[in-house]
Amino acid sequence: NRVIDSFEHAEACGRSEERRRYLTFAVVGGGATGVELAGALRGLVRGTLALHYPRVRAEEVRVLLFEAGAELLPGLPRNLAAQARKRLCERGGQSRGNTAGASGDGEGL
């Protein structure tokens, strides 16, 4: 619901810093769940939401994946983690290692 609300707000406002805030989503944790959530969110943006919110371009949406450790998917072979990072980036997501999310309140991280 929060993602849909953000799209509704973004579509209603102009191309401003406010619009950018509505279209930036942060996922904290680069384990299997975080990587899956970030990928699913990018898929939702390019699929269903693109049809329902035509004034929001997929390129405007930022999905940021933060991982406290150096690599995504710790515990898996490095080649799989590298492939996951590559696919996320190909789909417009971004990942940042060595970056912990200390706290979040709905207004910022």
Contact 27, 33 (CB under 8 A): no
- What gap in Å lies between CA 71 and CA 40, rounded to an integer? 20
Choosing from 8, 17, 18, 36, the catalytic residue is 36
The amino acid at 109: L
Work out the end-to-end distance of the chain between its first and last CA atoms, rounded to an integer number of angstroms: 19
Helix (H, G, I), strand (E, B) or coil at 27: strand
Residue 67 annotated to the active site = no
Tell whether the torsion through CA atoms of 97, 25, 27 and 88 is positive or negative.
Answer: negative
Q: Which residues are catalytic?
A: 36
